Amino acid sequence: MSAIPAYAAADWGTTSFRAWACSADGTVLGERRGPDGLTSATERGFETVLEGHLAALGLPDGAPAMMCGMVGSRTGWIEAAYLDTPIGLDGLAAQATRVPGTRRPVFILPGLAQRSATEPDVMRGEETQLLGVVADGYRTGFVCMPGTHSKWVRLEDGSIDAFSSFMTGELFQHLRTASILRQAVEGAEGVDPALPAFAEAVRDVLAEPALLTSRLFQIRAGWLLAGRSSDEQLARLSGTLIGMEIAGAKARYGDLTGAALLASGPIAQLYETAFALAGFGAFHPLDADRCVRHGLHTAAASLFDLNPTGSPS
Amino acid sequence: MSAIPAYAAADWGTTSFRAWACSADGTVLGERRGPDGLTSATERGFETVLEGHLAALGLPDGAPAMMCGMVGSRTGWIEAAYLDTPIGLDGLAAQATRVPGTRRPVFILPGLAQRSATEPDVMRGEETQLLGVVADGYRTGFVCMPGTHSKWVRLEDGSIDAFSSFMTGELFQHLRTASILRQAVEGAEGVDPALPAFAEAVRDVLAEPALLTSRLFQIRAGWLLAGRSSDEQLARLSGTLIGMEIAGAKARYGDLTGAALLASGPIAQLYETAFALAGFGAFHPLDADRCVRHGLHTAAASLFDLNPTGSPS
């Protein structure tokens, strides 16, 4: 294994940037994370931002970069295609869009589109994680991918059969910071899934999803009237929205026992707790970081002529 | 009837101000409406803003003002009490809070609190509209009050028995202007309830409320994939949120046939259409402006010594 990176992998989203310098066999040699989301990159220039990170990672000139995420959206660097579902993931890399005019080969993987009159949906970035999930051997079942726009995906023998997005994370951020609920949750630092309020909120919304927008207002009312703490009310907000997402996935797909949960860090704990409250007998934990790196490596290995014995420059 | 106003009535909310100069019998002699919500009033001074409007209305020095709404909240001019439900509305005016130190008598009517561990809720302003509703003779049944935080209220022989708030209007404004859906609805001027997309959205969310946050994301997906127009997608957003509110009210209260709809203008049409789609056999339309004026007059007449034959100054 050479210590000189053979390629870079990057997951570039609306509000975050993560890149890894990798050897030809996918071993991670270095990592960069930053808040360089699309808005700031649009101002500073996408190639400037990317090359700054790749220089810090010691990526040789000419070594290629494989990217996924909202960088390939209409409001990103360049629009990468949407491939239609149902779809097997084998051909994903072959459909990557090469960014024109860059110093080094830079590719953006396509997103996926569910072109349904009644259930239109899109994803960008998650398809690459799913490529890693399938490469890891989880080929049939449901995958829950928490996030700004959480995805629930039905895999059938390694193919993406159907999926649904839920605005869970975006609504949480908005309601927490800019809504009438702001004062009720101000000062809370994070969501503690061990608080009874989290479990109560999950149970309430699972029992009666129709009351969602009333339950949200009650977070303010409970603060005004009962002096409930901001920690308690933030847990309630999180439990309400995560519970709603699970209620929606159950309504759409039925029994979700054994679903894979693709998450890392604190958010994984929240969903694990909610899964248990929803009565899922068991679930299959997957590390989100590992899956996206695995997916990007799978794509890079299929598209690039990586040279494991020397510098690719 | 004297042409000199005997008192002023005002409904002062988070984002709007409405005031009327009235004769002793409640006849409206003049009206002012403005965007002087609480935030701008906090900066300029509540009394300065109020007196500016009352001068323009020709209210004599010393004539009293009766107000309701968020001006009486913790973040308003001065905090007025919350009265606990269940409650008859006869004693509302007697519990009004007098603002200290003003040139003229200025009173703010109390809000209502539902101090329930499982269904905590509050209202400020709507109780005054309900005072008008009951004074108008609608004493038993459900009242739907659309707004930033819509209320559904159960009246029992003139008393407020139970109520629920829904964040319909606030979510609509946020999702329309500051969310991932913004581009999909940009350029649409208003919601047309005659568009099939409005009815589809109401029906979809009534059929499966659990999918709300997925239906919201689909508004973006339908714009990206199917090129649906912004008018169509804005109607879909509105129908989704109004339908969700009705689904919630049904889940909480059961059969709502014959409910009173307290609304004015375009929003009344949206709710009328949604009520029909929800299968309400009939509903009882009430004019929101008229009800709040009637409620404020009822309170003013009970609290102030109005002199119908001369100037009260």
Model confidence over A83-107: pLDDT tens digits? 999 999 988 999 999 999 999 999 9
- The answer to whether residues B174 and B123 belong to one domain is no
Least CB-CB distance to B210: which of A220, A221, A247? A247
- The answer to whether residues B20 and B156 belong to one domain is yes
Query: Best interface-test mutation with B: which of A211, A237, A253 has the largest number of B CBs within 10 A?
Result: A211
Is the model more confident about A3 or about A287? Answer: A287
Residue A146 lies in a domain: no
- The answer to whether residues B196 and B219 belong to one domain is yes
Please, which residues 87-146 of chain A have a Cβ atom closer than 8 Å to chain B? Answer: 113-115, 117, 119-122
pLDDT in the model for residue A309? 53
pLDDT greater than 90 at residue A296: yes
* pLDDT (tens place) for every residue of chain B, 313 residues total: 458 999 999 999 988 899 999 999 999 999 999 888 888 899 999 999 999 999 999 999 999 999 999 999 988 999 999 999 999 998 899 999 999 999 999 999 999 999 999 999 999 999 999 999 999 899 999 999 999 999 999 999 999 999 999 999 999 999 999 999 999 999 999 999 999 999 999 999 999 999 999 999 999 999 999 989 999 999 999 999 999 999 999 999 999 988 999 998 899 999 999 999 999 877 899 998 899 999 999 999 999 998 655 444 4
**How many Å from the N-terminal Cα to the C-terminal Cα in chain A?**
16
Q: Give the distance from residue B303's alpha carbon to the nearest chain A alpha carbon, in angstroms.
A: 27
Residue A274 lies in a domain: yes
A1 part of contact set with chain B, CB < 8 Å: no
Domain count, chain A: 2
Measured between beta carbons, the chain B residues lying within 8 angstroms of A123 are none
- The answer to whether residues A119 and A229 belong to one domain is no
Supply angle C-alpha A103, A108, A111, rounded to 5: 165
**pTM value surpassing 0.95:** no
Q: Do A210 and B251 touch (CB under 8 A)?
A: yes
- The answer to whether residues B18 and B150 belong to one domain is yes
Residue B262 lies in a domain: yes
- The answer to whether residues B267 and B217 belong to one domain is yes
Least CB-CB distance to B120: which of A171, A208, A221? A221
pLDDT greater than 60 at residue A129: yes
Residue B313 lies in a domain: no
pLDDT in the model for residue A36? 83
Least CB-CB distance to A218: which of B113, B120, B170? B120
Supply angle C-alpha B57, B61, B67, rounded to 5: 60
Q: Give the distance from residue B253's alpha carbon to the nearest chain A alpha carbon, in angstroms.
A: 11
Residue contacts between A and B (CB atoms, under 8 Å): 139
User: Residue A171 and residue B32: Cα distance in Å, rounded?
Assistant: 36
Measured between beta carbons, the chain B residues lying within 8 angstroms of A182 are none
Query: Best interface-test mutation with A: which of B84, B151, B172, B211 has the largest number of A CBs within 10 A?
Result: B211
Residue B249 lies in a domain: yes
User: Residue B284 and residue B262: Cα distance in Å, rounded?
Assistant: 8
B82 part of contact set with chain A, CB < 8 Å: yes
- The answer to whether residues B242 and B173 belong to one domain is yes
User: Residue A185 and residue A203: Cα distance in Å, rounded?
Assistant: 20
Q: Which residues pair with A34 in a beta bridge?
A: A17
Q: How many CB atoms lie within 10 A of CB B153?
A: 27
Measured between beta carbons, the chain A residues lying within 8 angstroms of B212 are 209, 212, 244, 248
Q: Which domain holds residue A216?
A: 167-282
pLDDT greater than 90 at residue A311: no
Which residue from B minimizes the CA distance to A152? B214
Region for residue A53 given its phi and psi (left: phi exceeds 0; alpha: psi -120 to 50; beta: otherwise): alpha
Q: Do A120 and B225 touch (CB under 8 A)?
A: yes
Segment A199-228 shows an average pLDDT of 97
- The answer to whether residues A265 and A299 belong to one domain is no
Residue A155 lies in a domain: no
Could you tell me the CATH number of the domain that includes residue A179? 3.30.420.310
Query: Phi/psi of residue B156, each to 5°?
Result: -135, 105
Could you tell me the CATH number of the domain that includes residue B41? 3.30.420.300
Least CB-CB distance to B218: which of A75, A120, A179? A120
Lowest mean pLDDT segment, chosen from A50-54, A206-210, A279-283: A279-283
- The answer to whether residues A249 and A270 belong to one domain is yes
Minimal CA–CA distance to B164: which of B120, B115, B110?
A: B120
Query: Cis ω on the peptide bond leading into residue B86 (within 30° of 0)?
Result: yes
pLDDT in the model for residue A14? 84
> Which ipTM value was assigned to this complex?
0.93
Segment A60-66 shows an average pLDDT of 97
Measured between beta carbons, the chain B residues lying within 8 angstroms of A117 are 226
As given in the structure block, the two tokens for residue A138 are 């989880």
Q: Give the distance from residue B134's alpha carbon to the nearest chain A alpha carbon, in angstroms.
A: 25
- The answer to whether residues B120 and B173 belong to one domain is no
Region for residue A101 given its phi and psi (left: phi exceeds 0; alpha: psi -120 to 50; beta: otherwise): left
Residue A28 lies in a domain: yes
Least CB-CB distance to B213: which of A115, A166, A208? A166
pLDDT greater than 90 at residue A300: yes
pLDDT in the model for residue B308? 54
- The answer to whether residues B83 and B68 belong to one domain is yes
Measured between beta carbons, the chain A residues lying within 8 angstroms of B166 are 213-214, 217
- The answer to whether residues B144 and B239 belong to one domain is no
Measured between beta carbons, the chain A residues lying within 8 angstroms of B82 are 224-225
Q: How confident is the model at residue A228 (pLDDT cuts 50, 70, 90)?
A: very high
Average pLDDT, chain A: 94
Q: Give the distance from residue B163's alpha carbon to the nearest chain A alpha carbon, in angstroms.
A: 10
Residue A131 lies in a domain: no
Least CB-CB distance to B245: which of A82, A213, A247? A213
Q: How confident is the model at residue A206 (pLDDT cuts 50, 70, 90)?
A: very high
As given in the structure block, the two tokens for residue B1 are 């009837």
Name every residue whose Cβ is closer than 8 Å to that of residue B237 and which is 6 or more positions away in sequence.
B172, B175, B176, B181, B185, B201, B216, B219
